[in-house]
A and B are shown apart, each in its own frame.
Chain A
């Protein structure tokens, strides 16, 4: 043993004339959620390859949920430490990672989204008879990337998080390799995603050229102390970064991939894409723009304003002409991205709080919605058009009721979390004197309410065969399918139940979540 230490000591002592490179100190507790997610994913892959089919697929779903819960558990002491006035938020690994209420809150949102998606995927993969371990490992890898994005204090680290988040999701979109639409979704998502990553990286390069740093704290200090005579380079860089984030959060005009990918990908994966991936995208957007470039608010706020208006109206109006429920909800997720951008545009602490509440409640709503879609879609052999939902209230009253609650929550009906989510972003916009934006948001909410009510009405009204059906409600396909009772797996039922509980709980007692969101303030601390 002593010989080994001697060798180690000799090997690690710099010879004369050279100086040791200063290596960053790693605060392990700060990066523990990320480490747990990544190590968990690697272990799942390793055990899956060693045990080859000796483990039931449900075992991997259980392991994934356990790992996500463990990651949340390691984030709890961080949250307490940050809320303790004596300690407060801090930065780790030479200023690359910032640990504040914002990053811990989003860690919870992303891990929660993984748990719900894993529950849904458990039933889905068993019935499709697909290999399971890889799907869960990729989910965890992607979640680790999302957590990195939520806590990145450096543009390079942010890019690393963005890629770690995205690459597994491209593969996940194509997991149903036997179906051509799934392969197409994976390919489309990959090509456009890689394209947007290139935009992002170019933006980072331009901003480095303009400010001399990739660290957000350094950039913020530099911009508050210096006035750039020529800020074209910086503005171009900001624009490129916005394009990169715009793809991830699917804001109009960077939304074209969304309907195709949501339609082609397996529904449990879409639940994660619309919940976890979107939350991570907005986390990165807020960290870079709200924290790093607060001095340039007057320059980037109009851009966000335009994106928000385009997403609000584009998402709501294009959703109306769809006949496929998955496509409808894809466009509605674009509409929701517009709402969240309204909160970002406010560029205030209140706006950030509203965005966080919106992201948390939307992650639950969308997981529940796609949970129902996943269950119904399997019963109809992968058909997702509106007619597949006819008379669902007769065969599965519980499922129809749950879907109704999720859709009403998306429409922003009171006593659901969706109401307070929309209320808060609008309040933030009015607070920031963006009255016209708030007005556009309300109009788009009315337009998209028609979409949600159309699905609800299809489930409840158009049940009987031969019954006179309102052509508006019927969808394009007039063929009435045999309505048999849809079988709901235990794990799916649990996931839908959890999502339902969160949606109603946050609607009745919103302060349980808004208080948390109010404490989740992002801060920049120089490394």
Chain B
């Protein structure tokens, strides 16, 4: 076995130990615990309240556009914060790059706004 594959042996042992541990604990639990089934015990737990209706509830399609816009600006923030703390080392190049990035995103927001995405009615 090559050195490279042997280093994966650790991963295999670790995975085996993890699976064995879970099997041991759940197995011991099912052997030791008393079993007294009641219908109430099989209800979905919702903070002690009886569940109402179907689990497959529909949410309005509108939310998806908001989620998209949110992800867009979330990603923008993820890029901007680390960049801002280290602006000096990137020099003018970094400044211009970030400006291009923000301008493109701003045009995207303009597009969404003009498309009426930001209105809730």
A binds B: yes
Interface residues of A (CB under 8 A from B): 8, 11-15, 18-21, 23, 42, 45-46, 48-50, 52, 230, 233
CB neighbours of A19 from chain B (8 A): 89
Q: Which residues in A have their C-beta under 8 angstroms from that of B87?
A: 11-12
Residues 72-105 of chain B: 1 if any A CB is under 8 Å from the residue's CB, otherwise 0?
0000000000000001111111110000000010
Beyond known contacts A12-B87, A20-B90, A23-B93: 10 more, CB 8 A cutoff:
A12-B91, A12-B95, A18-B88, A20-B89, A21-B89, A23-B91, A23-B94, A45-B107, A50-B114, A230-B4
A14–B89 Cα distance when bound, in Å, is 5
B111 and A45 contact, CB distance less than 8 A: yes
Known interface pairs A12-B88, A15-B88, A230-B2. Does A49 touch B94 (Cβ–Cβ under 8 Å)?
no
Indicate whether B9 reaches chain A with its CB closer than 8 angstroms.
no
Q: Which residues of B have CB within 8 Å of A20? A: 88-91
Residues of A contacting B104 in the complex (Cβ-Cβ under 8 angstroms)? 42
* Complex: A14 Cα to B86 Cα, angstroms: 9
- One digit per residue, 1 when the CB lies within 8 angstroms of any chain A CB and 0 when it does not, for chain B 25-54 equals 000000000000000000000000000000
Most chain B CB atoms below 10 A, which of A12, A13, A14, A18? A12
The interface residues of chain A lying within 8 Å CB-to-CB of B89 are 14, 18-21
| CB <8 Å contact, A12 and B92 | yes
**Cβ B114 vs Cβ A49 within 8 A:** yes
Q: Which residues of A contact B92 (CB under 8 A)?
A: 8, 12
Shortest beta-carbon contacts, A-B, top 7: A49-B114, A23-B93, A49-B111, A12-B91, A14-B88, A21-B89, A46-B107
Bound Cα distance from A496 to B93, whole angstroms:
46
B115 nearest CB neighbor, chain A only? A49
B91 proximity list for chain A (CB < 8 A): 12, 14, 20-21, 23
Q: How far is the CA of A13 from the CA of B88 in the complex (A)?
A: 6
Q: Which residues of chain A have C-beta atoms less than 8 A from B111's C-beta?
A: 45-46, 48-49
B15 sits at the interface (CB 8 A): no
A52 and B114 in contact (CB under 8 A), knowing A45-B107, A230-B4, A233-B4? yes
The smallest C-beta distance from B71 to any residue of chain A, in angstroms, reads 15
Q: Which residue of B lies closest to A23 (CB)?
A: B93
21 contacts between A and B (CB under 8 A): A8-B92, A11-B87, A11-B88, A12-B88, A12-B92, A14-B88, A18-B89, A19-B89, A20-B88, A20-B89, A20-B91, A21-B91, A23-B91, A23-B94, A42-B104, A46-B107, A48-B111, A49-B111, A49-B113, A50-B110, A233-B4
Residues of B within 8 A of A50 (CB): 110, 114
Shortest distance between the CB of A93 and any CB in chain B (Å): 12
Interface residues of A, dominant DSSP: loop
Determine whether the beta carbon of A21 is less than 8 Å from that of B114: no
Distance (Å) between the CB of A166 and the closest chain B CB? 19
Minimum CB–CB distance from A50 to chain B (whole Å) comes to 6
Interface string of B54-69 (1 = CB under 8 A from A): 0000000000000000
The residue in chain A whose Cβ has the minimal distance to the Cβ of B103 is A42
B103 to chain A, nearest CB (A): 9
A46 to B113, CA, bound (A): 11
Contact B4 A42 (CB under 8 A): no
Report A71 CB to chain B, min CB distance, Å: 18
Question: Which among A20, A50, A52 has the greatest number of chain B C-beta atoms within 10 A?
Answer: A20
Q: Enumerate chain B residues within 8 angstroms of A45, measured Cβ to Cβ.
A: 107, 111
**Closest B residue to A39 using CB positions:** B104
Whole-angstrom distance between the alpha carbons of A113 and B12 in the complex? Answer: 50
Of chain A, the residue at the smallest CB distance from B2 is A230
Chain B: which residue is nearest A38 at the CB level?
B104
Q: State A42–B108 Cα separation when bound (angstroms).
A: 9
Nearest Cβ in chain B — how far from A147, in angstroms?
Answer: 18
The residue on A at minimum CB distance from B87 is A11
**Can you name the residue of chain A whose Cβ is closest to the Cβ of B107?**
A46
Question: Please, which residue of chain A has its CB at the minimum distance from the CB of B92?
Answer: A12
- Name the CB-closest residue of B to A14: B88
Could you say which residues of chain A place their CB within 8 Å of the CB of B94?
A: 23
Q: Which of chain B's residues has its CB closest to A10's CB? A: B88
Contacts of A12 in B (CB 8 A): 87-88, 91-92, 95
User: Considering the chains assembled together, what is the distance between the CA atoms of A8 and B88 in angstroms?
Assistant: 10
Which residues of chain B are near A42, meaning CB under 8 Å?
104, 107
How far apart sit A23 and B115, CA to CA, in the bound complex (Å)? Answer: 38
User: Do A23 and B90 touch (CB < 8 A)?
Assistant: yes
Contact residues in B for A49 (Cβ distance below 8 Å)? 110-111, 113-115
B115 neighbours in A (Cβ, 8 Å)? 49
Complex Cα–Cα for A12 and B96 (A): 11
Note all chain B residues with C-beta closer than 8 A to A48.
111
Residues of chain A lying within 8 A (CB to CB) of residue B114: 49-50, 52
- Chain B residues with Cβ below 8 Å from A14 are 88-89, 91
CB distance from A209 to the nearest CB of B (A): 9
Residue in contact with B110 in the complex, picked from A11, A15, A46, A230, CB distance below 8 Å:
A46
Give the docked Cα–Cα distance between A14 and B88 (Å): 5
Residues of A contacting B95 in the complex (Cβ-Cβ under 8 angstroms): 8, 11-12
Cα A14 to Cα B87 in complex, Å, equals: 9
Give the shortest distance, in Å, between B99 (CB) and chain A (any CB).
12
CB distance from A417 to the nearest CB of B (A): 39
Q: How far is the CA of A233 from the CA of B113 in the complex (A)?
A: 49
Q: Give chain A nearest CB distance to B91 CB in angstroms.
A: 5
In whole angstroms, what is the CA distance A13 to B87 when docked?
A: 9
Chain B residues near A13 (CB, 8 Å)? 88
